[in-house]
């Protein structure tokens, strides 16, 4: 498919609206994206035009976005751009730019965040695997059945 993928950096403009629908959780919020430019006359940075996008999130992304985002927070949104036009009887036509989000995150260039992995019910039954011994190499770490793994050949260095 020829879809327009975009990545926008801006601030959360409205509180995420969360809903449980027949197809699963859904959330939407508005993001404000303001361009900045160097004003030579004033020798300083100035704000340009502000674009507003409606961001739509579904399933687990919707749940996590609703629990994590607040108005004014800097975010990065990646997703599919959809531009819609609509005319209503007796009114002037309008246009909106929506983003069907694939990924949403806080902009760490402008602040810090503490990540907490969301618990899912199906993850509880996954057995624990032993962590590989990265410092001593694979030859010193045991597999789940206790047998030593076979050593992988090392690639030749080209100079």
Q: d(Cα 100, Cα 45) in Å, to the nearest integer?
A: 31
Phi and psi at residue 110, to the nearest 5°: -120, 10
For the chain, give the percent of residues with pLDDT over 70.
Answer: 75
Sign of the dihedral through C-alpha 77, 101, 113, 71: positive
The closest of 5, 10, 1, 2 to 99, measured between CA atoms, is 5
30-72 residue pLDDT tens: 999 999 899 999 999 998 999 999 999 999 999 999 999 999 9
pLDDT band at 2 (very low <50, low <70, confident <90, very high): confident
115-146 residue pLDDT tens: 888 776 565 555 566 766 667 665 555 555 55
pLDDT higher than 80, residue 29: yes
Sign of the dihedral through C-alpha 45, 48, 52, 57: negative
Range 72-88 burial, b when 16+ CB lie within 10 A, else e: eebbbbebeeeeeeeee
- Looking only at the bridges linking them, the beta strands covering 94-106 and 74-86 are antiparallel
> Strand pairing partners for 44?
39
Determine the pLDDT at residue 16: 93
What end-to-end distance do the CA atoms of the chain give, in Å? 43
Determine the pLDDT at residue 83: 92
Sole residue written with tokens 């209503």:
88
Token pair belonging to 92: 């002037």
Determine the pLDDT at residue 6: 94
């Amino acid at each position: 498919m020829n879809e327009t993928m975009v990545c926008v950096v801006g601030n959360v403009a409205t509180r995420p609206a969360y809903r449980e629908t027949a197809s699963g959780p859904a959330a939407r919020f508005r993001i404000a994206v303001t361009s900045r430019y160097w004003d030579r006359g004033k020798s300083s940075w100035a704000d340009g035009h502000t674009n507003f996008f409606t961001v739509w999130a579904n399933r687990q992304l919707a749940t996590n976005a609703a629990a994590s985002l607040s108005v004014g927070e800097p975010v990065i949104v990646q997703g599919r751009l959809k531009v819609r036009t609509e005319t209503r009887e007796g009114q002037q036509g309008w246009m909106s730019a929506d983003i069907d989000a694939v990924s949403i995150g806080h902009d760490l260039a402008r602040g810090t965040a503490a990540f907490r992995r969301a618990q899912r019910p199906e993850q509880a039954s996954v057995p624990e695997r032993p962590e590989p011994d990265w410092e001593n190499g694979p030859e010193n770490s045991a597999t789940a059945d206790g047998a030593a793994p076979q050593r992988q050949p090392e690639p030749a260095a080209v100079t």
